[in-house]
Amino acid sequence: MADIHFYTGEALPLELHKVRIVQHLNLVPVERRAEAIAEAGYNTFLLRNRDIFLDMLTDSGVNAMSDRQLAAMMIADDSYAGSETFTRLTDALERVFGTKYFLPAHQGRAAENIIAMTFVKPGTIIPMNYHFTTTKAHITRLGGTVEEVVIDEGVKVTSDFPFKGNFDLEKLEKLLKEKGDRIPFVRIEAGTNLIGGQPLSLENIEKTADLVHRYGKLVVMDASLLQDNLYFIKVREEKAKNLSIPEITRRISEKMDIIYFSARKLGFARGGGISIHDKSLYLKMRELVPMFEGFLTYGGMSVREMEAMAVGLDETMDMDVISQGPLFIEYMTKELIKLGIPVVTPAGGLGCHLDASRFIPHVSQEEYPAGALGAAVYIAGSVRGMERGTISEQREPDGSEHLASVELLRLALPRRVFTASQVKYAVDRIKWLYDNRNLIGGLRFVEEPSSLRFFFGRLEPVSDWPEKLVRKFREDFGESL
Ligand code: F0G
């Protein structure tokens, strides 16, 4: 990352790339936004892209690709078996991780399915710093359970601790001691998604892996958000100051038995897979790939995406590339803090996270504050975020609501997609909304699927608060969009 300071002292992230292909965006009037979110059952997953200005739902599969990635897609070798593209991708993974074996899968959750089917059976326990939705679903589907062993700081919304994704090593050791016979592997999630893209330190990763190996268990890393975690290790950890990004990556990968990832995030393409050092482990999982994904040299992926991924993985070793996301997120987070708006701190990877519990404390958890804030942010600015609160949880078996430990609205910043002025616009509309937060009310379900309700569920406002918000917007902004 180039060390560039503005003469005026302004803290603004600077893009070290230029835009060469653009896509037009619509910004529809506030009245249409209110209509669109009603049509979508107040669920941002159900909005149509034509009604969205800044899509901050996710960074998954929507990061900008480089010219080198697009060029590589033109030389993809489209053969069912023995594709040269597969060899190039396996070589890229070996350069980056030092792994000899690679099992391709169509995306991250497919890799999770293969790992879970190989190691999880009824009664199995999988300890991890924190779960991800699809990870947990695959483990519980097979009768296993997840034990979260993140440090206490990890679930504190505001903190200045630089590595909130760290394992609590004492808790982990206790678990290994007491229930080790039920634990086949421990999962380390780099750049911990659901607690705000929070990283682990290199030291914690190494100590965790050593501890798990002492107990004879496997160490599995979910590297989907590794690029952000690498950046944070480099800039936040004294121990890593003099290590390059490829060196940090190797230090991590040498300690892992299995590394799997969503290439919709890592590698800036679309796909996924599992990298493995050891041949016998590779053979243990191999037959599931042709059964569920596709032949061993493509695993359900397009070879074009695989070429892009190979280049994207090499580009992930470049600080200029991987710093862009975290620097934009830090900028957005700091601007919001300056305006007094409650956010998750410190800024992490993936996106900026608004703390709905403090943004609209008058909306009770039973009325889904993070979901309501998601609908309100969309009405205010045509900015689409993702609810990460109680709606994203599942009800208890007795039908009672499982209240989430945090109520967050995630505003993802796909890498190299938005400009600083677009981020400034989002901050401006969120500030307007914050000044009018008393107008925001809660939501209730009208259609509630029994699983993954956050994807398809439909809700309605508990009062006419969306109309009030639209009226206030018109008063304050006049004819402006
Ligand atoms: N692991 C992590 C940490 C993830 O963030 C994701 C996806 C997956 C696994 C699953 O990968 O989508 O390729 O099947 N996260 C996306 C998100 C969906 O929006 O955060 P996938």
Q: What is the per-residue pLDDT for 317? A: 98
E strand or H helix at 279, and its extent? helix 279-286
Distances (CA, A) of 158 to 154, 241, 337, 342: 10, 26, 11, 9
Residue whose Cα lies nearest atom 2 of ligand 1: it is: 224
pTM of the model: 0.96
pLDDT tens-place string over residues 390-414: 999 888 889 999 999 899 999 999 9
- Please identify which of the residues 234, 388, 429, 453 carries the catalytic annotation: 388
Task: In whole angstroms, give the CA distance from residue 38 to residue 461.
Answer: 9
**Predicted confidence (pLDDT) per residue in 402-459, tens digit:** 999 899 999 999 999 999 999 999 999 999 999 999 999 999 999 999 878 999 999 9
Do 30-59+321-477 and 67-318 agree at the fold level? no
For residue 55, what are the β-bridge partners?
Answer: 384
Alpha-carbon Rg for the chain, nearest whole angstrom, is 22
Ligand 1: residues whose CB is within 6 Å?
58, 60, 107-109, 132, 134, 189, 193, 222, 224-225, 262, 264, 272
The Cα 138–Cα 443 span in angstroms is: 29
How many Å lie between the centroid of ligand 1 and the Cα of residue 216? 28
Q: What is the pLDDT of residues 13-65, one digit of tens each?
A: 999 999 999 999 999 999 999 999 999 999 999 999 999 999 999 999 999 99
Distance CA 114, CA 322 (A): 28
CATH number of 67-318: 3.40.640.10
Q: Whose CA is nearest to atom 15 of ligand 1?
A: 60
CA–centroid distance, 224 to ligand 1, in Å, is 7
Mean pLDDT, rounded, for 8-12: 92
The reply to whether 133 belongs to the active site is: yes
Q: Please state the rounded mean pLDDT for residues 463-478.
A: 98
Q: Are 323 and 1 in contact (CB under 8 A)?
A: yes
Please state whether beta strands 125-128 and 272-276 pair in parallel, antiparallel, or not at all (unpaired): unpaired
Residue 386 has pLDDT above 70, yes or no: yes
Q: What is the mean pLDDT of residues 247-251?
A: 98
CA–CA distance, 475 with 467 (Å, rounded to integer): 13
Q: What integer pLDDT is reported at residue 405 of this predicted model?
A: 86
In this structure, the residue with its CA closest to atom 11 of ligand 1 is: 108
Q: What is the pLDDT of residue 7?
A: 95
285-305 burial, b at 16+ Cβ within 10 Å, e below that, comes to bbebbeeebbbbbbbbbbbbb
Ligand 1 atom at minimum distance from 225 CA: 3
- Domain boundaries along the sequence of the chain: 30-59+321-477, 67-318
pLDDT reading at 1 higher than 70: no
d(CA 173, CA 242): 31
Assess whether pLDDT exceeds 70 at residue 460.
yes
* Residue 29, preceding peptide bond in cis (omega within 30° of 0): no
CATH of domain 30-59+321-477: 3.90.1150.10
User: What's the pLDDT at 128?
Assistant: 98
Contact in structure between 434 and 359 (CB atoms under 8 Å): yes
How would residue 153 be classed by pLDDT, with cut points 50, 70 and 90?
very high
How far apart CA 343 and CA 320 sit, in angstroms, is 26
Q: List phi, psi (to 5°) of 384.
A: -100, 120
Q: Residue 481's pLDDT band (boundaries 50, 70, 90)?
A: confident
